[in-house]
Amino acid sequence: MGKSVAQRSVWNRRNFLTQSAGISGLAWLAGGLKTAQAQTGAMPGLKSRVGIELYTVRDLMMTDFEGVLAKLAKIGFREIEPANGYNDMEPKPFRAMLDRYGLTMPSTHSPARGTGADLERQLEGFQIMGIKYTEIAANRAGGSGAGRGPDGAPLPPGAYYNTATGVVSNSFTELGAFGPNQPRLAIDSVKKRAAALNANGKLARKFGMKTFVHNHTGEFERLLDSDKTEYDVLLEETDPELVTMQIDIAWAFIAGKDPVEMFKKNPGRYELWHVKDVFGLKTVDPKLSPYQRTSSMAFGPIGTGQIDYKSVFASAKLAGLQHFCLEQDNAASWGDSLAAARVSYEGLAAIL
């Protein structure tokens, strides 16, 4: 039986310094820089716009938001994607802060919320901040990864409130919190979600934006009343002009899917990527369902796990890639989330 996420996190912490020192060399040896450049030659310049999902360093950003941004920019990141709000700042000063550090924010996991004129004012603010892809949530009280609980109070580092289940989980300490608990759905509920995404996409388009679908593993489970999966239905029912797919590469692999095959089946639909690495893909029980496979996996900095990102990025043009950001859900469990982000940056930059 494979180690649990918690067990692997202990192993990860013990080996962090050793792997940090050696990751750049290992990544270069794994096929060579020339090969990697040739494979991504159809989309030059990717190395100059590496992004980071700020969820990776959420523990540090709670006390030093701007300071962490400055350090990320110094590492070499050029794009960010927030997951825990905008530091209680108005759009114009937030955009000025990004400009100070040479950063852009093409996408966000801190959605616009509500309805009517207030929602449109938020989207106008998103325009000012440079956002091109957003989620839109009808409610105001929290949301998965929103940084606030059901009572509106700030959550501790690592925690998120899942509005679908009403549960607050902490991905630093809880096995099941690596990806929201996703119950199986009926096809009608998924079609309603697709219709809402299309409607939100029409609104977002007024402000030069698209909405998007992000995946974990549950989207690849069969529906309660269909042989299709939630992901199948969302691809079929959403308008590509209004809604794109933000594929989380690692969660797709964890669910037993091959992202490159997904790109071939639906070319151009995957404009946004989350890029992370994972252990356990080679030893997981193939009989497990997509969601069950989660407990056999552990995340690590890019280049230390088992995903062949040279092959994935070789299909970037086919996918329709526009922006990508690296992420490590459990980076803080390695002892220093910023150091883990640096290792991931070096590992990814070596193949771009």
Could you report the per-residue pLDDT of 283-319, keeping only the tens digit for each?
A: 999 999 998 898 888 899 999 999 999 999 999 999 9
Instruction: Measure the CA dihedral 293/56/324/212, to 10°.
Output: 70
Mean pLDDT rounded to a whole number for the chain: 85
**What is the average pLDDT across 101-123?**
96
Q: Which residues have a Cβ under 8 Å from the Cβ of 227 and sit 6 or more positions away?
A: none
Q: Would you say residue 148 has pLDDT above 90?
A: no
Q: Are 54 and 81 in contact (CB under 8 A)?
A: yes
53-98, pLDDT tens digit by residue? 999 999 899 899 999 999 999 999 999 999 989 999 999 999 999 9
pLDDT confidence band for 3 (50 / 70 / 90):
very low
Q: Are 107 and 272 in contact (CB under 8 A)?
A: yes
Q: What is the value of pTM for the model shown?
A: 0.82
Q: What is the CATH number of the domain that holds 138?
A: 3.20.20.150
Q: Which two tokens stand for residue 318?
A: 């086919």
Q: Are 57 and 72 in contact (CB under 8 A)?
A: yes
335 compared with 1, residue with greater pLDDT? 335
Q: Would you say residue 31 has pLDDT above 50?
A: no
The C-alpha angle 281, 163, 206, rounded to 5 degrees, equals 95
Q: How far apart are CA 326 and CA 77, in angstroms?
A: 10
pLDDT confidence band for 183 (50 / 70 / 90):
confident
The residue with tokens 């990102």 is 309
Q: How remote is the C-alpha of 281 from its chain's centroid?
A: 19
Q: Would you say residue 35 has pLDDT above 50?
A: no
Q: Find, among 280, 85, 304, 19, the residue nearest to 175 by Cα.
A: 280
- What pLDDT, on the 0 to 100 scale, is given for residue 291? 86
200-258, pLDDT tens digit by residue? 999 999 999 999 999 999 999 999 999 999 999 999 999 999 999 999 999 999 999 99
Q: Are 166 and 150 in contact (CB under 8 A)?
A: yes
Domain of residue 32: give its range.
5-145+153-349
| Number of CB atoms found within 10 A of residue 92's CB | 11
How many folded domains does the chain comprise? 1
Sign for the CA dihedral angle at 242, 87, 103, 251 comes to negative
Q: Would you say residue 153 has pLDDT above 80?
A: no
CA distance from start to end of the chain = 35
Burial of residue 332 (CB within 10 Å: 0-12, 13-18, 19+) is: buried
